[in-house]
C-alpha cells in the first residue's frame, strides 16, 4: 500500500500503474463480490466516468481480487473500430474460458455465435446456424452458460469500454439486466458517460430502478493522494501545477508526469474535456500521447499502425503480412522495442495491442487513409485464404473499400445474410454500405431492389420499425411495371411495419390499393396480401369489413393448390369469427385449419408460420386449450429455427394465456416475460402493450394479495398503447380496469373499461365482453349503483348465451352471483358461483374454477351449508396451490370455512366483502378514512364508497355504531 491507503500495489500483470484514490470504490466492489448470490446483491455494476478516469484500472484491480478469492474471471473489451462485429464484447470475454468447457455438453451449441465469435457461423443455413436464428434463444443460452460457470466457483464478467459496444452486445446486455443471471454471477461494465448509446444508458437506468444494477460514477482523483502516490519526488509547486492541469484525470496526470520527467514543458496544458478529437480524446491528452510516437523509426511506426488497424487480428502472423518487407527477425526486434517503450502489450491470447484504447484511437486516426485501407485489405485477403467466414472478414472488407467492388459487395452481402437473425443491426449496416457504393444504373437495379428489401427486413427484425417502413415506402414508390413482384413483397412487409407502429388504417389502404391494381397479383402474392389485409382489420376491430376478402383469399389458395395459403386463410378467418363471438363459424374454420396444419410438415409451415399464431389464438378463445398450446409450441419451434422473431411475442402470449387459464402460473409468467422482452427489442409500442396485458393478468394471480406489481404493469401497458384505438389499446385499458378493481379502486376500474369500450362496450370484441361486464357489475355494486349492476349483469348473460362458450357463461354467472350476494341472498349466490365453477371445468380453465369456488365458499358458509363450503374450499385451495396462484391461495386462507361444530347463524357482517370487513375492522381500531386509505393503498374516495356500502349492509349509521358492532362480533367469536 502507498500513501494514505488510497493507492494499491499492482496485481501481477493486470495493472501497469498504481490504483490511486479509489479505495472507497474498490471497497464497495469487494463487498459485492464477497456477497454474490445473496438476496439484495446487485447482479450488475455500472462504472461510469470520462476518458482516462481510471475505469479500466479499477476493473483490473477488481478482477485481480476476484481471482485471489477463487472466482472465475472473464474480461472483455468493446473496441472503437469493430462496432459492427456482432457480440465482439462478449466473445472477447469468453476467450478466457477453458476451451474444454466450451466444447463440453454443458454449453448449448446455439450459443456458439457469442462464445466463439463470428467465424463460428459458416452460413445462414448451416447446421449450427439454424440454432442461431432466434437471437433471444441465443441470449437465454448465454445466460445458461454464465450460470453454469458461476456454479463452479462464482463468476465475475468484466466488460470494458461499453460505450463502443456493437448493437448485438448491447441487446444481449439489456437481456441480462432484465433477467439477471442466477447464482454467484456478477457482471461489471465500464463506460464513458457522454459517449454511451441511449439504449445502453436506458437499460442501465432501468436496472438501477429495479435494484439489479449498482451505479458507480468515478470522480476526479483527490489532489493530496495523487501527489503523494505519484509525484512525491517533484517540487511541491510543480506537482500542484501538474495536478491542476490534469484536472484529476489519472491518465492525463500520468502523461503529464511522464512528459515532465523527460524534459517536456506541458504543465500549463489542461485537459479541455470538451475539445475532443474525432475519437473523443481530449486534445491536450492527444498531443502528449502522440508525442511518444515521434521517436519511433519508420518500421516501428508502421508496426504500431498495423496493430492499431488490425485490432483483434493483431497476431504475430498477421503482423508479418501487413507490416511490409521485413524479415521475421526485424519484426521481432521492432515489436520488442515497442514493448520496451510500453506502447505494445501482448494479451493472454497471443494478440498484440496498444497500451490504451485512446492510444489506439490516435494512432488509427493519424495513419494515412491509403495505408489503413492497405492493412485492412491484406487482413481480409489472409482471412479468406485461411477459410474464415464472410462474417469474420466483413469488418476488414468494409474498411478497405474505396469505391464499388462487386467481389467485396458479395462478401458483405453474404455476411449480412449470416448475421441477419442474430445481429440484425449489423446486417442492416453492411447492406447499407453496399447500397451506398452500388452504382445507380439499370444494370444494378434488380440487385439494388433485392438488397434494399433485405435491409428493410433486417431493420425490422432489429427493432428499427420506422426506418424500415420509410425505406419500404421509398422502394415501393420507385418500383416500376417490371418490379411488380418485388413491390408486392415490399408492400406485405410494409403493412406489417405499419401494423406494429399502430398504423393499421394505413396498412389497410396500402394493401387494398395493391389488390385493386390491374393486372392483379399472381396467386401467391394475392394470398399474402389478402392475409395481411385481414390481420390489419383484426387490429382495428373491423374484421366484418374484410370477411369477403378473406373468403376470396381462401378461394384463390384452394384453386391453386396452395395448402399453406388455405390453412392461413382458414386460421385467420377462425380468429376473426372468434373475436366477433361467432362461435359456430369459428369452430368450423378452426377444425379444417387444424386438420391442414397437422398434416403439413415443418418446412411447409415455415413459409407462413404466422398462421399458427392465428390458429393457436382462435383455439384459445374457443377454450380448446390443449390444441392451442400444441399449435403454439409447434409455432414457437418453427419460428425460432427459421428466425421469424416478429411472431414469437404472439405465440408466447397465446401460450401464456393458455397457462394462465389452466392455472400454471409460473410457466405462464415465464412465457409472458419472454414475449415482453422480444416486444421491447422489436420496438413496437402496440406489441409491447399487448404482451404487458397478459403479464399484468398473470402477475395479479401470481403475486400475493395486496401486491401492486400487476397494477403497475397494467399502467405501463396503457401508457405503451397511448391514444391508439386499436384493440390492443382497448385490451390494455380493460386489464387496467380489472387490476384496479381487485386493488380496491372501483371508480378507476369502471372508468378504464368504459373508456375502452364505450357505455355499451360496443367498442370491444364480443369475445371479451362478458368478462368485462362481470368486472363492471362488481364496480357498480361497490359504488352503490345496484340498478346499473343489474343491467350489466343481464347484458353479460345475453352476450354469453349468444356465444355459447363455457368460460363466457361462467363470467356471466359470477356477475349474477355478485348481484345475489349484494341483495343478501347467500344461498342463491352460492349456487350461482358454484355453477360458474362447473362451467369452467370442461375446458380445464382451473384458475377461474378455483376463483369461483372460493367465492362460492364464502356464500355457502354464510348460508349455513358448512360441508358444502368445506368441499368447495378444499378443491379451490388445491387448484390454486398446485398452479402457483398466490393470490387465490391467500384468498383461500382468508375465507377458510369453520369446522361444522363452530358454525354460527349468519349475521349482518356476513354480507360484507373481504375488503369491506377489512375496512370495518380498521374503523373499529379507531383509524380515520385517510389513515385507512394509506394503510390499504387505496384512495380516500374508495374508502368512503366502501363505508357507505358497509353502513347499508349492517344497518348502522355511524362510525361508533360500526365499531360497537365489530367489537360484539369479536367477543362472540371468542365466546
The listed range with the strongest mean pLDDT (146-155, 489-498, 535-544, 623-632) is 623-632
3-state class (DSSP) for residue 975: coil
What pLDDT, in 10s, does the model give residues 832-882?
A: 999 999 999 999 999 999 999 999 999 999 999 999 999 999 999 999 999
What pLDDT, in 10s, does the model give residues 293-323?
A: 888 888 899 999 999 999 888 888 888 888 7
pLDDT at 903: 42
User: What does DSSP assign to residue 214?
Assistant: E
**Is the Cβ–Cβ distance between 604 and 563 less than 8 Å?**
yes
Task: Give how far Cα 123 sits from Cα of 56, 85, 396, 462, 940, Å.
Answer: 36, 16, 19, 20, 63
Average pLDDT, the chain: 87
pLDDT at 750: 96
Q: Which residue has the higher pLDDT, 110 or 6?
A: 110
Q: How many residues does the chain have?
A: 975
Grade residue 279 by pLDDT with cuts at 50, 70 and 90.
Answer: low
The pLDDT of residue 10 is above 70: no
pLDDT at 958: 76
88-122 burial, b for 16+ CB within 10 Å, e for fewer?
A: bbbbbbbbbbeeeebeeeebbebbbbbbbbbbbbb
How far apart, in whole angstroms, are the C-alpha atoms of residue 773 and residue 127? 52
CA angle 594, 600, 603 (to 5 degrees): 130
How far apart, in whole angstroms, are the C-alpha atoms of residue 239 and residue 258? 12
pLDDT at 966: 82
Q: Which residue has the higher pLDDT, 206 or 121?
A: 206
Beta strands 213-217 and 44-48, pairing class: parallel
Task: Report which secondary-structure segment, H or E, holds 74.
Answer: strand 72-77
Q: Which residue has the cell 384452394?
A: 558
Lowest-confidence range among 23-27, 47-51, 274-278, 827-831? 274-278
Tell me what the mean pLDDT of segment 526-537 comes to. 92
What does the block give as the cell for 86?
A: 456482432
Alpha helices, DSSP H only, in 501-562? 504-515, 523-539, 543-559
Tell me what the mean pLDDT of segment 922-942 comes to. 79
CB atoms within 10 A of CB 595: 12
If phi over 0 gives left and psi between -120 and 50 gives alpha, with beta otherwise, what is residue 327?
Answer: beta
Lowest-confidence range among 68-77, 89-98, 353-362, 903-912? 903-912
Grade residue 618 by pLDDT with cuts at 50, 70 and 90.
Answer: very high
Tell me what the mean pLDDT of segment 414-433 comes to. 92
Spatial CA neighbour of 47 closest among 218, 249, 248, 273:
218
How far apart, in whole angstroms, are the C-alpha atoms of residue 587 and residue 590? 5
Spatial CA neighbour of 325 closest among 299, 305, 295:
299
How far apart, in whole angstroms, are the C-alpha atoms of residue 485 and residue 487? 5
pLDDT at 3: 33
Task: Report which secondary-structure segment, H or E, holds 714.
Answer: helix 709-721
What does the block give as the cell for 249?
A: 484525470
Grade residue 11 by pLDDT with cuts at 50, 70 and 90.
Answer: very low
Q: Which residue has the cell 365458499?
A: 857
Question: What strands lie across the sheet with 185-191, from one edge to the other?
Answer: 72-77, 155-160, 185-191, 44-48, 213-217
Encode 846-896 in three state secondary structure: HHHHHHHHHHHHHHHHHCCCHHHHHHHHHHHHHHHHHHCCHHHHHHHHHCC
pLDDT at 263: 66
pLDDT at 1: 29
3-state class (DSSP) for residue 157: strand
Residues 6+ apart with CB under 8 A from 105: none
pTM exceeds cut of 0.85: no
pLDDT at 121: 54
Q: In the chain, count of helices (H) and strands (E)?
A: 49, 7
Q: Which residue has the higher pLDDT, 359 or 832?
A: 832
The pLDDT of residue 536 is above 70: yes
Q: Which residue has the higher pLDDT, 912 or 267?
A: 912
3-state class (DSSP) for residue 186: strand
pLDDT at 283: 64
Task: Report which secondary-structure segment, H or E, holds 606.
Answer: helix 602-606
pLDDT at 330: 84
> Is the peptide bond prior to 713 cis by the omega test (within 30 degrees of 0)?
no
What pLDDT, in 10s, does the model give residues 554-602?
A: 999 999 999 999 999 999 999 999 999 999 999 999 999 999 999 999 9
pLDDT at 636: 94
How far apart, in whole angstroms, are the C-alpha atoms of residue 195 and residue 88? 18
Task: Give how far Cα 329 sits from Cα of 322, 772, 969, Å.
Answer: 15, 82, 99
Lowest-confidence range among 9-18, 149-158, 191-200, 782-791? 9-18
How far apart, in whole angstroms, are the C-alpha atoms of residue 303 and residue 323? 6
Tell me what the mean pLDDT of segment 456-478 comes to. 92
What does the block give as the cell for 885?
A: 396462484
Spatial CA neighbour of 26 closest among 82, 64, 75:
64
User: What does DSSP assign to residue 326?
Assistant: -
The pLDDT of residue 550 is above 90: yes
**Is the Cβ–Cβ distance between 605 and 644 less than 8 Å?**
no
pLDDT at 125: 41
Tell me what the mean pLDDT of segment 24-43 comes to. 88
Grade residue 280 by pLDDT with cuts at 50, 70 and 90.
Answer: low
pLDDT at 264: 57
Q: Which residue has the higher pLDDT, 958 or 87?
A: 87
Tell me what the mean pLDDT of segment 344-364 comes to. 85
Grade residue 973 by pLDDT with cuts at 50, 70 and 90.
Answer: low
How far apart, in whole angstroms, are the C-alpha atoms of residue 651 and residue 611? 10
pLDDT at 689: 94
Beta strands 344-346 and 352-354, pairing class: antiparallel
Q: Which residue has the higher pLDDT, 472 or 346?
A: 472
pLDDT at 273: 44
What does the block give as the cell for 101?
A: 468447457
Amino acid at each position: 500500500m502507498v500513501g494514505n491507503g488510497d493507492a494499491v500495489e499492482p496485481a501481477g500483470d493486470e495493472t501497469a500503474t498504481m490504483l490511486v484514490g479509489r479505495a472507497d470504490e474498490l471497497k464497495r466492489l469487494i463487498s459485492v463480490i464477497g456477497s454474490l448470490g445473496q438476496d439484495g446483491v446487485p447482479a450488475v455494476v455500472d462504472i461510469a466516468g470520462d476518458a482516462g478516469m481510471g475505469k479500466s484500472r479499477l476493473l483490473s484491480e477488481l478482477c485481480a481480487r476476484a481471482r485471489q478469492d477463487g472466482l472465475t474471471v472473464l474480461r472483455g473489451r468493446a473496441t472503437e473500430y469493430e462496432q459492427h462485429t456482432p457480440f465482439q464484447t462478449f466473445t472477447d470475454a469468453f476467450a478466457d474460458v477453458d476451451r474444454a468447457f466450451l466444447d463440453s455438453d454443458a454449453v448449448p451449441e446455439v450459443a456458439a455465435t457469442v462464445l466463439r465469435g463470428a467465424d463460428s457461423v459458416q452460413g445462414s443455413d448451416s447446421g449450427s446456424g439454424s440454432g442461431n436464428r432466434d437471437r433471444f434463444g441465443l441470449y437465454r443460452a448465454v445466460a445458461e452458460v454464465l450460470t453454469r460457470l458461476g456454479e463452479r466457483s462464482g463468476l465475475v464478467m468484466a466488460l470494458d469500454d461499453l460505450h463502443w459496444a456493437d448493437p448485438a452486445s448491447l441487446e444481449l446486455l439489456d437481456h441480462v439486466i432484465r433477467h439477471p443471471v442466477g447464482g454467484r454471477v456478477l457482471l461489471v461494465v465500464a463506460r464513458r458517460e457522454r459517449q454511451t448509446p441511449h439504449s445502453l444508458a436506458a437499460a442501465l437506468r432501468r436496472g438501477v430502478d429495479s435494484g439489479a444494477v449498482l451505479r458507480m460514477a468515478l470522480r476526479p482523483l483527490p489532489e493530496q493522494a495523487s501527489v503523494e502516490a505519484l509525484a512525491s519526488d517533484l517540487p511541491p509547486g510543480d506537482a500542484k501545477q501538474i495536478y491542476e492541469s490534469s484536472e484529476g484525470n489519472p491518465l492525463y496526470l500520468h502523461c503529464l508526469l511522464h512528459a515532465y520527467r523527460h524534459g517536456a514543458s506541458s504543465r500549463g496544458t489542461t485537459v479541455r474535456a470538451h475539445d475532443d478529437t474525432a475519437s473523443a480524446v481530449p486534445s491536450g491528452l492527444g498531443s502528449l500521447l502522440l508525442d511518444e510516437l515521434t521517436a519511433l523509426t519508420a518500421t516501428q511506426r508502421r508496426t504500431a499502425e498495423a496493430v492499431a488497424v488490425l485490432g483483434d487480428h493483431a497476431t504475430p502472423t498477421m503482423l508479418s503480412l501487413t507490416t511490409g518487407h521485413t524479415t521475421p527477425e526485424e519484426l521481432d526486434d521492432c515489436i520488442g522495442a515497442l514493448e520496451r517503450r510500453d506502447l505494445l502489450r501482448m494479451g493472454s491470447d497471443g494478440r498484440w495491442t496498444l497500451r490504451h484504447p485512446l492510444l489506439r484511437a490516435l494512432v488509427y486516426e493519424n495513419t494515412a487513409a491509403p495505408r489503413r485501407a492497405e492493412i485492412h485489405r491484406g487482413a481480409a485477403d489472409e482471412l479468406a485464404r485461411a477459410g474464415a467466414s464472410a462474417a469474420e472478414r466483413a469488418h476488414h472488407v468494409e474498411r478497405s473499400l474505396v469505391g464499388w467492388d462487386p467481389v467485396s459487395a458479395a462478401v458483405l452481402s453474404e455476411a449480412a445474410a449470416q448475421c441477419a437473425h442474430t445481429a440484425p443491426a449489423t446486417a442492416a449496416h453492411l447492406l447499407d454500405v453496399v447500397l451506398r457504393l452500388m452504382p445507380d444504373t439499370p444494370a444494378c437495379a434488380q440487385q439494388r431492389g433485392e438488397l434494399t428489401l433485405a435491409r428493410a427486413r433486417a431493420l425490422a427484425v432489429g427493432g428499427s420499425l420506422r426506418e424500415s417502413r420509410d425505406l419500404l415506402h421509398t422502394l415501393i414508390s420507385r418500383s416500376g411495371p417490371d418490379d411488380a413482384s418485388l413491390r408486392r413483397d415490399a408492400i406485405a412487409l410494409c403493412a406489417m411495419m405499419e401494423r406494429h407502429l399502430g398504423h393499421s388504417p394505413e396498412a389497410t389502404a396500402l394493401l387494398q390499393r395493391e389488390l385493386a391494381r390491374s393486372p392483379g397479383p399472381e396467386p401467391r402474392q394475392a394470398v399474402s396480401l389478402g392475409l395481411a389485409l385481414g390481420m390489419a382489420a383484426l387490429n382495428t376491430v373491423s374484421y366484418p369489413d374484410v370477411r369477403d376478402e378473406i373468403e376470396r383469399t381462401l378461394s384463390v389458395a384452394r384453386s391453386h393448390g396452395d395448402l399453406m395459403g388455405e390453412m392461413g386463410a382458414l386460421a385467420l378467418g377462425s380468429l376473426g369469427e372468434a373475436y366477433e363471438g361467432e362461435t359456430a363459424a369459428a369452430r368450423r374454420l378452426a377444425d379444417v385449419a387444424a386438420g391442414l396444419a397437422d398434416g403439413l410438415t415443418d418446412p411447409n409451415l415455415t413459409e407462413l408460420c404466422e398462421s399458427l399464431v392465428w390458429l393457436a389464438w382462435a383455439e384459445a378463445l374457443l377454450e380448446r386449450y390443449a390444441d392451442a398450446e400444441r399449435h403454439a409450441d409447434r409455432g414457437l419451434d418453427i419460428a425460432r429455427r427459421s428466425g421469424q422473431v416478429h411472431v414469437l411475442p404472439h405465440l408466447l402470449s397465446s401460450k401464456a394465456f393458455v397457462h394462465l387459464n389452466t392455472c400454471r402460473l409460473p410457466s405462464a409468467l415465464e412465457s409472458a416475460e419472454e414475449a415482453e422482452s422480444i416486444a421491447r427489442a422489436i420496438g413496437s409500442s402496440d406489441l409491447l402493450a399487448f404482451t404487458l396485458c397478459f403479464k399484468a393478468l398473470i402477475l395479479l394471480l401470481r403475486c400475493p394479495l395486496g401486491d401492486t406489481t400487476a397494477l403497475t404493469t397494467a399502467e405501463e401497458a396503457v401508457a405503451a398503447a397511448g391514444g391508439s384505438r386499436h384493440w390492443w389499446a382497448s385490451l390494455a385499458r380493460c386489464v387496467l380496469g380489472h387490476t384496479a378493481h381487485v386493488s380496491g379502486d372501483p371508480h378507476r376500474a369502471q372508468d378504464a373499461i368504459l373508456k375502452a369500450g364505450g357505455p355499451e362496450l360496443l367498442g370491444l370484441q364480443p369475445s371479451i365482453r362478458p368478462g368485462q361486464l362481470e368486472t363492471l357489475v362488481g364496480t357498480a355494486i361497490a359504488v352503490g349503483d345496484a340498478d346499473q349492476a343489474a343491467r350489466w349483469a343481464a347484458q353479460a348473460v345475453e352476450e354469453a348465451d349468444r356465444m355459447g362458450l363455457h368460460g363466457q357463461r361462467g363470467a356471466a354467472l359470477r356477475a349474477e352471483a355478485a348481484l345475489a350476494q349484494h341483495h343478501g341472498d347467500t344461498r342463491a349466490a352460492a349456487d350461482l358461483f358454484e355453477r360458474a365453477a362447473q362451467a369452467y371445468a370442461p375446458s380445464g380453465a382451473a384458475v377461474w374454477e378455483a376463483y369461483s369456488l372460493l367465492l362460492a365458499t364464502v356464500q355457502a358458509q354464510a348460508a349455513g351449508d358448512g360441508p358444502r363450503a368445506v368441499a368447495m374450499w378444499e378443491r379451490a385451495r388445491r387448484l390454486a396451490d398446485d398452479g402457483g396462484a398466490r393470490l387465490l391461495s391467500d384468498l383461500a386462507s382468508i375465507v377458510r370455512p369453520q369446522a361444522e361444530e363452530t358454525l354460527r347463524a349468519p349475521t349482518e357482517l356476513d354480507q360484507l366483502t373481504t375488503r369491506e370487513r377489512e375496512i370495518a375492522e380498521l374503523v373499529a381500531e379507531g383509524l380515520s378514512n385517510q389513515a385507512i386509505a394509506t394503510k390499504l393503498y387505496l384512495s380516500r374516495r374508495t374508502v368512503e364508497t366502501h363505508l357507505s356500502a358497509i353502513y347499508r349492509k349492517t344497518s348502522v349509521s355511524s362510525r361508533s355504531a360500526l365499531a360497537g358492532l365489530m367489537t360484539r362480533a369479536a367477543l362472540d367469536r371468542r365466546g
